[in-house]
A and B are shown apart, each in its own frame.
Chain A
Amino acid sequence: MAATTEQALTPVPQIVARRVEPERTGWTSWVTTTDHKRIGIMYLVLTFVFFILGGTEALLMRLQLSQANNTLLDPKTYNELFTMHGTTMIFLFVVPIMAGFGNYFVPLMIGARDMAYPKLNALSFWLLVAGGLVFYGSIFFNPPECGWTCYPPLSSKAYLPNGGVDAWIFLIHLTGLSSLVGAVNFYTTIANMRAPGMGWGRLPLFVWSILTYAILLIVALPVIAAAVTMLLTDRHFGTHFFDASNGGSPLLWQHLFWFFGHPEVYIMVLPGFGIISEVLPVFARKPIFGYKAIAAATVLIGFLGFLVWAHHMFSTPSPTFVLVFFMLGSFLIAIPTGVKIFNWVATLWRGTIEFKTALLFCVGFIGTFLIGGITGVFLAVFPVDWQLTDTYYVVAHLHYVLMGGAVFGVFAGIYYWFPKITGRLLSEGLGKLSFWLMLVGFHVTFLIQHSLGLDGMPRRIYEYADVGHLELYNLISTVGSFILALGVLVTAVNVIRSAKNGPIAGPDPWKANTLEWFTTSPPPVNNFDVVPYVRSVEPMKDIRRQVERQMAPSEAPPAPVAESAVRA
């Protein structure tokens, strides 16, 4: 009995709090965070800064090329600029910004609390920071000047002895590790942490694209890691992997590089496709047309992406049957890509299209990416490629795919998801201004570059003689690039202004389809208090319908619970 009395005297509830650390605030809370949403925001901000840096490098190059025989930049600086531009845009902007969107939205879209490995997630981000610092540190010494492909022998110690190439190698290693760790995390999260009821057939298409992105990274990155390690040992430790005079082969580099490099293209554009597939149905107010076909096309493009690498090498000494194989492989990949475009257009067909900025960017994406896809078919026809490769035609093609494709997708994502991330809406007026400037600027810059290439202007040259219309065409392109830059700037201003002062968005401003709109904007640390059972690919539509039924009980069939309550 004594024990019971003692218990009764003890105050209830008894809470003993020991060593509970107060929640961190300020910048340390960001540095130490393992919350996927905060890491996602850091990814998005950091990669956008790199986008601005890479864009500035591009504008400097365009300034140099605006006049024939211009002397604004010397050849060394020019070579450094195109190396920095390509490397920055690919390894520090497009690939990681997709990881940023993935980080923020994959757990939310599948109804998870966080990523599977939150600490690894933080590691991914900080490795990216390290890669960016190592690479941009080189501008205080000697930036690399071998192009983003760094072909040996040019990138060997004999021809580029300074540390620029080494900085580039370590950038590849650090950002590669970052992406690899992140990819494993994405794969595990998507495989294991989906909401109840969310089978593979109910996975949002953006999540399908991030899944494929992760698998491509896991397969492709070890190859480039091996290649740059071989380049590093060639440069410093006396090996001869790529040295033809000692039994090595410069072509081996090209094979290894492009075995990674071509999947890398799909690593960059597939998540963009995923964003388009999420945004289009929301603003067309219509389900995505052919969900299964789009998901299957995503996976198929990922697979075929590994079978086409040598179409970057059509002008190397190769037997005809090798050329034919890679031509046909590249043709094959055009089929699922075309299917996606048809499906997107069919999604708009008979919808009720609301012209929000996010939708405009999607439409700009489809219209622009189509051109990049079509010029890709020209380049796949290898005899035609012999004329086009390494000219401005290829520069135009790759920007139609990566800028018109991936970047327009990124901007659609920014306008679509900003309200979820910040709880505030972006200005539609500024957004539309930004879209039109970017669309017009983009086409003025890059359409004419096809003609530059067809007229014989190779890429990566710092000056040219004014033969034919080269100077006029280049000037048009330069003017366009500044219009494009202005468009990007307008969005940057829009983001900065709206983050503090935009109108409050509420949890679901677009009446969207996927689970991230089920929680508050911005979401709480734990994302969801209750995770709903997922019954279709559009769980939010189901939930809204259910809420409507509860709001208007007269229109809905009476629920049994309500009946019993009335009788009582």
Chain B
Amino acid sequence: MARSPATGRSRRLAFALLFALVALLAFAGAAFGDAISPESGGSPNADEIDSLYKLVFVVAAVIFVGVEGALVYSLVKFRARKGAVPAQIRGNTRLEVGWTVGAALILVVLAAFTFAKLGDIRNPPNSGPNGLQLADSGALFASGPTKKLPPNGKSLNVCVNGQQYVWRYTYANDCANAPLSSVFSYQEMVVPVDTTVTLDIEAQDVAHSWWIPKLGGKFDAIPGYTNHTWFKIPGKLAGQVFTGQCAEMCGRNHANMTAQVRAVTPPEYEKWLDTRKADIKAADDAAAQQRKQIEQQTP
């Protein structure tokens, strides 16, 4: 089959394009420096997930370059030429067993990475020395298959409740029996730094998903279930606000169901707690007053 020089050139152009594409894919990471691994920096579990992602990324990059390289090499090297004869090979058992075992070994390595990191991601550590001084609350609730507590059993527990389209936070240890006088807030959660915060995540209406990227992964809020996670914001980040939003489609306003976590020093937290308590009490009193007025007006 005679080939005109023009088609040869367009073929070379096609290969150049393919090469450029592969190069682009391989180096896309470098081009978008901040955007090649998950968010982190707000909590040890987010940091550990980030480093686990990077470990997997290194393994993945090697496989990617190897396979795409072999693919592009064969396309260039073995394109149909005058007089070229295709090798009639139907397989190679040793080679095939080899790459099957090789693939399995790579996955064993990835599993080992995961198990090595899992404890630090799943299990909350103790609060730091500069954190909020917590009473021993271990007797009130124990860790279960999904609920994990720090080794000393002390954490600041917040009940997170997803509702169309807002997050409600109740500051209580036992979410099912939280007293009505418990401090609560909407949308913005205020927490002390250097303190392990455990979350009990529930949903009021439809399914939602709790996610503050810099503070760790997503945990679905599903009616009838309680999900759990934790975070511990380092002391030097006091004053920072971490943002996130609901990650499970929950209806028309899903896009606007945002959440914020404001990190403050423990004394500021105590002060905030007192202010909230006073505000809530004042509002309750005002409501009671109004009720009384209405009762008096309608005999």
A and B form one complex = yes
Q: Find out whether the CB atom of B146 lies under 8 angstroms from the CB atom of A319.
A: yes
**CA A75 to CA B64, docked complex, whole Å:** 38
B17 on interface, CB distance cutoff 8 Å = yes
Q: Find out whether the CB atom of B21 lies under 8 angstroms from the CB atom of A352.
A: no
Q: Find out whether the CB atom of B96 lies under 8 angstroms from the CB atom of A352.
A: no
Q: Which residue of A lies closest to B101 (CB)?
A: A335
> Residue-by-residue, is B189-212 near A (CB-CB < 8 Å gives 1, otherwise 0)?
000000000000000011101010
Q: Find out whether the CB atom of A327 lies under 8 angstroms from the CB atom of B111.
A: yes
**CA A371 to CA B65, docked complex, whole Å:** 11
Q: Find out whether the CB atom of A455 lies under 8 angstroms from the CB atom of B39.
A: yes
Q: Find out whether the CB atom of A250 lies under 8 angstroms from the CB atom of B86.
A: no
Q: Find out whether the CB atom of B146 lies under 8 angstroms from the CB atom of A318.
A: yes
Q: Which of A291, A436, A447, A456 has the most CB of B within 10 A?
A: A456
The residues of B that contact A363 with a CB separation of less than 8 Å are 71, 75
B28 on interface, CB distance cutoff 8 Å = yes
- For residue A318, give the distance in angstroms from its CB to the closest CB of chain B: 7
Q: Find out whether the CB atom of A317 lies under 8 angstroms from the CB atom of B228.
A: yes
Q: Which residues of A, 314-356, contact B by the 8 Å Cβ criterion?
A: 315-320, 327-328, 331-332, 334-335, 338-339, 341-343, 345-346, 348-355
The residues of A that contact B176 with a CB separation of less than 8 Å are none
B2 on interface, CB distance cutoff 8 Å = no
Tell me whether A335 and B218 are in contact in the complex, defined as CB-CB below 8 angstroms, given that A456-B213, A458-B247 are known contacts.
Answer: no
Q: Find out whether the CB atom of A75 lies under 8 angstroms from the CB atom of B218.
A: no
> Residue-by-residue, is B157-174 near A (CB-CB < 8 Å gives 1, otherwise 0)?
000000010000000000
Q: Find out whether the CB atom of A339 lies under 8 angstroms from the CB atom of B25.
A: no
Task: Give the contacting residue for B225; candidates A288, A317, A355, A378; CB below 8 A.
Answer: A317
Tell me whether A454 and B35 are in contact in the complex, defined as CB-CB below 8 angstroms, given that A154-B207, A316-B227, A334-B107 are known contacts.
Answer: yes
B222 on interface, CB distance cutoff 8 Å = yes
The residues of B that contact A381 with a CB separation of less than 8 Å are 52, 56, 110, 113-114
A117 on interface, CB distance cutoff 8 Å = no
**CA A289 to CA B92, docked complex, whole Å:** 8
Q: Find out whether the CB atom of B78 lies under 8 angstroms from the CB atom of A351.
A: yes
- For residue B36, give the distance in angstroms from its CB to the closest CB of chain A: 7
Q: Find out whether the CB atom of A383 lies under 8 angstroms from the CB atom of B118.
A: yes
- For residue B260, give the distance in angstroms from its CB to the closest CB of chain A: 13
B223 on interface, CB distance cutoff 8 Å = yes
A374 on interface, CB distance cutoff 8 Å = yes
- For residue B240, give the distance in angstroms from its CB to the closest CB of chain A: 15
Q: Which residues of A, 476-503, contact B by the 8 Å Cβ criterion?
A: none
- For residue B223, give the distance in angstroms from its CB to the closest CB of chain A: 4
Tell me whether A153 and B205 are in contact in the complex, defined as CB-CB below 8 angstroms, given that A250-B222, A355-B14, A383-B217 are known contacts.
Answer: yes
Task: Give the contacting residue for A315; candidates B75, B81, B90, B217; CB below 8 A.
Answer: B217
B292 on interface, CB distance cutoff 8 Å = no
Q: What class of interface size applies to chain A in its complex with B?
A: 35 or more
- For residue A564, give the distance in angstroms from its CB to the closest CB of chain B: 34
A367 on interface, CB distance cutoff 8 Å = yes
B264 on interface, CB distance cutoff 8 Å = no
Q: Which residues of A, 369-425, contact B by the 8 Å Cβ criterion?
A: 370-371, 374, 377-378, 381-391
Q: Find out whether the CB atom of B60 lies under 8 angstroms from the CB atom of A387.
A: no
A41 on interface, CB distance cutoff 8 Å = no
Q: Find out whether the CB atom of B222 lies under 8 angstroms from the CB atom of A454.
A: no
Q: What class of interface size applies to chain B in its complex with A?
A: 35 or more
**CA A288 to CA B88, docked complex, whole Å:** 9
Q: Find out whether the CB atom of B79 lies under 8 angstroms from the CB atom of A387.
A: no
- For residue B9, give the distance in angstroms from its CB to the closest CB of chain A: 13
Q: Find out whether the CB atom of A153 lies under 8 angstroms from the CB atom of B223.
A: yes
> Residue-by-residue, is B17-32 near A (CB-CB < 8 Å gives 1, otherwise 0)?
1000110110010001
**CA A436 to CA B14, docked complex, whole Å:** 9
Q: Which residue of A lies closest to B217 (CB)?
A: A386
Q: Find out whether the CB atom of A447 lies under 8 angstroms from the CB atom of B111.
A: no
B251 on interface, CB distance cutoff 8 Å = yes
**CA A371 to CA B224, docked complex, whole Å:** 38
B85 on interface, CB distance cutoff 8 Å = yes
The residues of A that contact B234 with a CB separation of less than 8 Å are none
A187 on interface, CB distance cutoff 8 Å = no
A469 on interface, CB distance cutoff 8 Å = yes
Q: Which residue of A lies closest to B15 (CB)?
A: A355
**CA A245 to CA B203, docked complex, whole Å:** 12
The residues of A that contact B135 with a CB separation of less than 8 Å are none
**CA A353 to CA B211, docked complex, whole Å:** 49
Tell me whether A352 and B80 are in contact in the complex, defined as CB-CB below 8 angstroms, given that A153-B205, A287-B88, A315-B217 are known contacts.
Answer: yes
Q: Find out whether the CB atom of B251 lies under 8 angstroms from the CB atom of A464.
A: no
The residues of A that contact B99 with a CB separation of less than 8 Å are 338-339, 342
B134 on interface, CB distance cutoff 8 Å = no
Task: Give the contacting residue for B37; candidates A319, A349, A454; CB below 8 A.
Answer: A454
**CA A387 to CA B117, docked complex, whole Å:** 15
The residues of B that contact A383 with a CB separation of less than 8 Å are 48-49, 52, 114, 117-118, 121-122, 217
Q: Find out whether the CB atom of B114 lies under 8 angstroms from the CB atom of A454.
A: no
Q: Find out whether the CB atom of B111 lies under 8 angstroms from the CB atom of A331.
A: yes
Q: Find out whether the CB atom of A350 lies under 8 angstroms from the CB atom of B86.
A: yes
Q: Which residues of B, 42-97, contact A by the 8 Å Cβ criterion?
A: 46, 48-49, 52-53, 56-57, 60, 63-64, 67-68, 70-71, 74-75, 78-81, 84-92, 95-96
Q: Find out whether the CB atom of B213 lies under 8 angstroms from the CB atom of A387.
A: yes
Tell me whether A351 and B87 are in contact in the complex, defined as CB-CB below 8 angstroms, given that A387-B39, A451-B32, A461-B254 are known contacts.
Answer: yes
Q: Find out whether the CB atom of B70 lies under 8 angstroms from the CB atom of A374.
A: no
**CA A345 to CA B99, docked complex, whole Å:** 12
Q: Find out whether the CB atom of A244 lies under 8 angstroms from the CB atom of B218.
A: no
Tell me whether A377 and B60 are in contact in the complex, defined as CB-CB below 8 angstroms, given that A317-B228, A339-B99, A386-B217 are known contacts.
Answer: yes
The residues of A that contact B117 with a CB separation of less than 8 Å are 383
A151 on interface, CB distance cutoff 8 Å = yes
Q: Find out whether the CB atom of A390 lies under 8 angstroms from the CB atom of B91.
A: no
Q: Find out whether the CB atom of B11 lies under 8 angstroms from the CB atom of A290.
A: no
- For residue A256, give the distance in angstroms from its CB to the closest CB of chain B: 15
**CA A159 to CA B207, docked complex, whole Å:** 11
> Residue-by-residue, is A449-467 near B (CB-CB < 8 Å gives 1, otherwise 0)?
0110011101111111001
> Residue-by-residue, is A271-286 near B (CB-CB < 8 Å gives 1, otherwise 0)?
0000000000000111
The residues of B that contact A159 with a CB separation of less than 8 Å are 164, 205-206, 251
Q: Find out whether the CB atom of A352 lies under 8 angstroms from the CB atom of B222.
A: no
Q: Find out whether the CB atom of A76 lies under 8 angstroms from the CB atom of B39.
A: no
The residues of B that contact A113 with a CB separation of less than 8 Å are none
Tell me whether A316 and B38 are in contact in the complex, defined as CB-CB below 8 angstroms, given that A341-B67, A367-B22 are known contacts.
Answer: no
B268 on interface, CB distance cutoff 8 Å = no
Apart from A315-B247, A387-B213, 20 more pairs, CB < 8 Å: A153-B206, A245-B223, A249-B224, A288-B90, A290-B91, A290-B92, A327-B111, A334-B103, A348-B78, A349-B78, A353-B79, A370-B64, A374-B63, A381-B113, A436-B17, A443-B21, A454-B38, A454-B39, A456-B244, A460-B254
Q: B residues near A, CB below 8 A?
A: 11, 14, 17, 21-22, 24-25, 28, 32, 34-39, 46, 48-49, 52-53, 56-57, 60, 63-64, 67-68, 70-71, 74-75, 78-81, 84-92, 95-96, 99-100, 103-104, 107, 110-111, 113-114, 117-118, 121-122, 145-146, 164, 205-207, 209, 211, 213, 216-220, 222-228, 243-256
